[in-house]
């Protein structure tokens, strides 16, 4: 059976990002030139924020005290899971030392970066979970200094629950800043921050472009686009469950694609018939985004076999990949391109987005073909070292000199031959 598109995303013209690039370039140049003065000006213009940029220790305590106890316990639950998973990841990162040849010893070390900048999105939603995912992971990796920023709300600042999460996870400095100005402040080390070695965390297209432009000067977690999700399901899947899993991810934004890949025509038709009713049941803020995403970006793909379904999933390389099908071990072994994989009807991408532990900062737009998501590895440099005795140095010198001269690199050859002086008699 051929692969059939029962619903296909609308064809869009090639995205034109020149306006965003130009705007971000001007902002970064102004902040580079004027420093904190420019950041304050952008905070006022873009976020309506005239208050203090640095969240003081007293303001932290007050914000944490205002968070309801039940929400604190929920945040603590998620934090504990995220931390445990990050600690398990760190345990896989070994150091080593080996005698490569007699007298030549080489090794590998794992060294955390000195400072990290964690961006926590604001705007439509209060992304408590993004604070947990980025700051906790940096802390577990051993990063000595962590700055966190999030867009302040006019007259109020960063929402209390986000401050509580930042504080719980161990942010050393919290800044009332969003957008390009927040990214630039962390990169440059403004308002008492240490200049960030790496910038992490999701954000809007301006934030993503700022990180892209700064990459090289600083590290970044990844080039991120709109979030995307794909569900693979067979005849055993429940229509209501699959539809909610798709709709829930569509509410991220109008540009967030969701895809259903299935071997069941009945399931495909049932989901397509049910989706609008579920979207209509959402609050207005969520409904608008989900409606556009479903009607313009969603796809429903019917496959003749599970192997065909797996091939489609690997080709799309989704950020989130959910499998609701029989023989989950087969899918775990077969699938190879995804940011994070969710197996079985008992789990959902929503768990991964908020509380279950594995990081939710993941590759989008097909980047899962070649990279994974945020982890302790992103905050850690795997570096190598070597030393050798006189006998090994002599052997290396002779062979290095011959290879260097064959390459035409005479300076390398002479630097190597200087070590022949240490050859034992």
Q: Please name every residue paired with 386 in a beta bridge, in sequence order, or none if there are none.
A: 106
**Sheet of 299-302, strand order:** 4-7, 299-302, 258-262, 229-233, 320-324, 340-343
Q: Is residue 11 predicted with pLDDT exceeding 90?
A: no
Q: How confident is the model at residue 121 (pLDDT cuts 50, 70, 90)?
A: very high
Report the C-alpha gap between 263 and 305 in whole angstroms.
6
What's the distance, Cα to Cα, between the start and end of the chain in Å? 76
Burial (CB count within 10 angstroms: exposed 0-12, middle 13-18, buried 19+), residue 268? buried
Cβ atoms of 200 and 374 closer than 8 Å: yes
Give residues with Cβ within 8 angstroms of 317, minimum separation 6: 337, 338, 363, 366, 367, 368, 369
Cβ atoms of 376 and 91 closer than 8 Å: no
Would residue 123 be called left, alpha or beta, if left means φ above 0 and alpha means ψ between -120 and 50 degrees? left
**Overall average pLDDT of the 62-83 stretch:** 98
Q: Is residue 221 predicted with pLDDT exceeding 90?
A: yes
Give pLDDT tens digits for 179-191. Answer: 999 999 999 999 9
Residues marked active site are found at 319-320
Give pLDDT tens digits for 144-162. Answer: 999 999 999 999 999 999 9
Q: How confident is the model at residue 425 (pLDDT cuts 50, 70, 90)?
A: very low
pLDDT of res. 18 = 81
Structure tokens at 147: 């700055």
Q: Is residue 209 predicted with pLDDT exceeding 90?
A: yes
Q: What is the pTM of this model?
A: 0.93
**Overall average pLDDT of the 113-129 stretch:** 91
Contacts by residues 306-311 (CB-CB < 8 Å, ≥ 24 positions apart): 306/234, 306/263, 306/330, 306/331, 307/334, 308/1, 308/3, 308/263, 309/232, 309/234, 309/261, 309/262, 309/263, 310/232, 310/334, 310/335
Cβ-based neighbour number of residue 383 at 10 Å: 11
Q: Which of 349, 303, 352 is nearest to 322 (CA)?
A: 349
Structure tokens at 284: 């207005």
**Overall average pLDDT of the 410-419 stretch:** 96
Question: Among the listed ranges 7-21, 273-287, 404-418, which one has the minimum average pLDDT value?
Answer: 7-21
Q: Is residue 291 predicted with pLDDT exceeding 60?
A: yes
pLDDT of res. 276 = 97
Q: Which of 222, 197, 137, 203 is nearest to 171 (CA)?
A: 137
Backbone CA torsion sign across 86, 218, 39, 142: positive
Burial (CB count within 10 angstroms: exposed 0-12, middle 13-18, buried 19+), residue 217? exposed
Q: Is residue 23 predicted with pLDDT exceeding 80?
A: yes
Cβ-based neighbour number of residue 81 at 10 Å: 18
Q: Is residue 423 predicted with pLDDT exceeding 60?
A: no
Structure tokens at 73: 């316990």
Backbone CA torsion sign across 243, 246, 250, 252: positive
Give pLDDT tens digits for 327-377. Answer: 999 999 999 999 999 999 999 999 999 999 999 999 999 999 999 999 999
> What's the chain's average pLDDT?
95
Report the C-alpha gap between 384 and 109 in whole angstroms.
6
Report the C-alpha gap between 122 and 147 in whole angstroms.
16
pLDDT of res. 4 = 94
**Overall average pLDDT of the 231-257 stretch:** 97
Q: Which of 57, 198, 189, 207 is nearest to 123 (CA)?
A: 207
Q: Is residue 320 predicted with pLDDT exceeding 60?
A: yes
Q: Is 266 helix (H, G, I), strand (E, B) or coil?
A: helix
Alpha helices (H) along 251-303: 265-280, 284-292
Orientation of helix 36-47 relative to helix 18-34, angle to 10°: 140
Q: Please name every residue paired with 7 in a beta bridge, in sequence order, or none if there are none.
A: 300
Q: Is residue 210 predicted with pLDDT exceeding 50?
A: yes
H or E element, residue 98: strand 96-101
Report the C-alpha gap between 295 and 292 in whole angstroms.
5
**Overall average pLDDT of the 198-204 stretch:** 95
Report the C-alpha gap between 91 and 35 in whole angstroms.
40
Report the C-alpha gap between 356 and 348 in whole angstroms.
10
Cβ atoms of 260 and 268 closer than 8 Å: yes
Domains, the chain:
18-90+107-220 (3.40.50.1980), 226-372 (3.40.50.1980), 389-422 (no CATH)
Strand ranges (E), 193-297: 198-200, 219-220, 229-233, 258-262
Q: How confident is the model at residue 16 (pLDDT cuts 50, 70, 90)?
A: low
């Amino acid at each position: 059976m051929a692969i059939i598109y029962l619903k296909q995303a609308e064809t869009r013209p090639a995205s034109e990002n020149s306006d965003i690039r130009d705007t971000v370039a001007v902002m970064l140049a102004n902040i580079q030139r004027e420093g904190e003065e420019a950041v304050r000006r952008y905070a006022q213009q873009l976020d309506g924020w005239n208050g203090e940029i640095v969240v003081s220790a007293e303001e932290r305590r007050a914000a944490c005290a205002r968070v309801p106890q039940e929400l604190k316990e929920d945040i603590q639950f998620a934090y504990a899971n995220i931390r445990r998973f990050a600690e398990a990841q760190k345990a896989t990162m070994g150091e080593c030392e080996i005698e490569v040849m007699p007298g030549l010893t080489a090794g590998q070390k794992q060294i955390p970066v000195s400072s990290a900048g964690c961006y926590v999105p604001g705007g439509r939603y209060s992304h408590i979970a993004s604070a947990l995912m980025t700051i906790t992971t940096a802390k577990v990796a051993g990063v000595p200094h962590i700055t966190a920023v999030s867009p302040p709300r006019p007259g109020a600042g960063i929402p209390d629950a986000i401050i509580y999460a930042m504080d719980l996870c161990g942010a050393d400095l919290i800044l009332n800043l969003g957008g390009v100005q927040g990214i630039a402040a962390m990169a440059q080390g403004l308002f008492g921050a240490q200049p960030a070695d790496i910038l992490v965390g999701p954000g809007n297209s301006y934030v993503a472009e700022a990180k892209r432009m700064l990459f090289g000067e600083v590290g970044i977690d990844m080039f991120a686009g709109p979030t995307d999700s794909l569900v693979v399901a067979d005849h055993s899947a429940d229509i209501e469950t699959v539809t909610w899993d798709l709709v829930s991810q569509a509410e991220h934004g109008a540009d967030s694609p969701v895809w259903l890949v299935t071997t069941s025509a009945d399931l495909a038709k049932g989901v397509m018939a049910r989706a609008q009713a579920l979207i209509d049941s959402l609050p207005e803020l969520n409904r608008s985004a989900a409606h556009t995403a479903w009607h313009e970006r969603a796809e429903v793909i019917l496959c003749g076999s599970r192997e065909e379904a797996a091939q489609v999933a690997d080709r799309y390389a989704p950020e989130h990949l959910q499998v609701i099908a029989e023989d989950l071990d087969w899918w775990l072994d077969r699938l190879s391109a995804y940011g994070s994989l969710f197996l079985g009807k008992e789990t959902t991408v929503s768990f991964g987005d908020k509380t279950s532990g594995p990081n939710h900062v993941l590759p989008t737009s097909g980047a899962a073909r070649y990279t994974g998501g945020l982890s302790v590895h992103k905050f850690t440099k795997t570096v190598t070292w070597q030393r050798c005795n006189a006998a090994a140095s002599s052997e290396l010198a002779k062979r290095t000199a011959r290879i260097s001269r064959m390459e035409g690199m005479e300076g390398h050859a002479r630097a190597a031959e200087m070590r022949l002086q240490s050859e034992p008699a």
